[in-house]
Structure 1
Amino acid sequence: MIHTGQAELDGVANQGWLLGHFMPPGTPLHSTAVEVKWGVHPAGQRRAAWATAETRTALLVLISGRFHMEMRDRTVVLTRPGDYLVWGPGEDHSWHAPADAVVLTVRWPSLPGWRLPPPPTQEDA
């Protein structure tokens, strides 16, 4: 099977997530091994809540902009395209985009039950 798409457009329906257990079974986008996200974050956006009791490993790569990954003991500032951070199970984290940013996130394995509610929209305000 082959699937082509455009990450920014295709990710809209799933908060940027393109691949994982939550995608339709029987498609190449469905995986219980890994999740992939194309994250487009406007300046000032923050994660809605801290991720705690994490059991997965994750890789975040800065594509463009500036991005802060907040860990309990420090904040990692990603400033150049290609800057990245890897963290493992048990690392509580959050994030903040001080400037418009695009990041690619890969998490493994892909597990049910780890989704935050979507961020509020202009209509919710």
Structure 2
Amino acid sequence: MGDDRVYVGKADVDGPREGGWLLGHFMPEGDPRRSGDVEVKWGVHAAGEARSRWATGERRTALLVLVSGGRFRVELPDRTVLLAEPGDYVVWGRGVDHSWYAERESVLLTVRWPSVPGYRVEPPVRR
């Protein structure tokens, strides 16, 4: 007998179904992974992959942590942050536009809050 309040999964299997996102407002009603408070992503990015366009008018706070790989650039209006070693991370608040580029294959854990509808963008592009 299962408990519909508990979900057990694998990030590298479940993530690709939702563009890497594991938790957020976009999960189905009744799914324990549905949340209006927070979003969590397991991002696996190939070398040369880039965000398809800048995120502007940001209404969320975000945390990106490099899990493995290395050389993932987070582009902000006034600087570029390089995540080069596992455990490197960056946090930015509401109102900070951003983009990113994977110089090398990288796996990142992203946490954003709150979970706000309307921010879906096209899949990453190769540069």
Q: What TM-score, normalized by structure 2, do the two folds share? A: 0.92
Partner of 1:5: 9
Partner of 2:52: 48
Alpha-carbon distance between aligned partners in 1 of 2:83 and 2:89, rounded to the nearest angstrom: 7
Q: 1:88 to 1:102 in 2, by over 3 A?
A: same
Query: Offset of 1:27 from its aligned partner?
Result: 1.3
Give the secondary structure class of the aligned counterpart of 1:13: helix
Partner of 1:92: 97
Q: 1:114 to 1:70 in 2, by over 3 A?
A: same
Q: Where do 4+ consecutive residues of structure 1 move more than 6 Å?
A: none
Q: Decide which of 85, 94, 109 is 1:104's aligned counterpart.
A: 109
Q: Decide which of 103, 116, 119 is 1:114's aligned counterpart.
A: 119
Q: Structure 2: which 5+ runs fail to align?
A: none
Q: What TM-score, normalized by structure 1, do the two folds share? A: 0.93
Q: Decide which of 51, 63, 68 is 1:64's aligned counterpart.
A: 68
Alpha-carbon distance between aligned partners in 1 of 2:28 and 2:123, rounded to the nearest angstrom: 19
Q: Structure 1: which 5+ runs fail to align?
A: none
Partner of 1:16: 20
Query: Offset of 1:13 from its aligned partner?
Result: 1.1
Query: Would you say the 8 A contact 2:43–2:110 is kept in 1?
Result: yes
Alpha-carbon distance between aligned partners in 1 of 2:61 and 2:125, rounded to the nearest angstrom: 27
Query: Offset of 1:120 from its aligned partner?
Result: 6.2
Query: Offset of 1:98 from its aligned partner?
Result: 0.3
Identify, as 1 or 2, the structure richer in strand.
2
Query: Would you say the 8 A contact 2:49–2:124 is kept in 1?
Result: no
Q: 1:120 to 1:91 in 2, by over 3 A?
A: closer
Q: 1:3 to 1:108 in 2, by over 3 A?
A: same
Q: Decide which of 64, 80, 86 is 1:81's aligned counterpart.
A: 86
Report Cα offsets for 1:55-98 as digits up to 9, x if no partner: 10000000011211000111000111110000001101000000
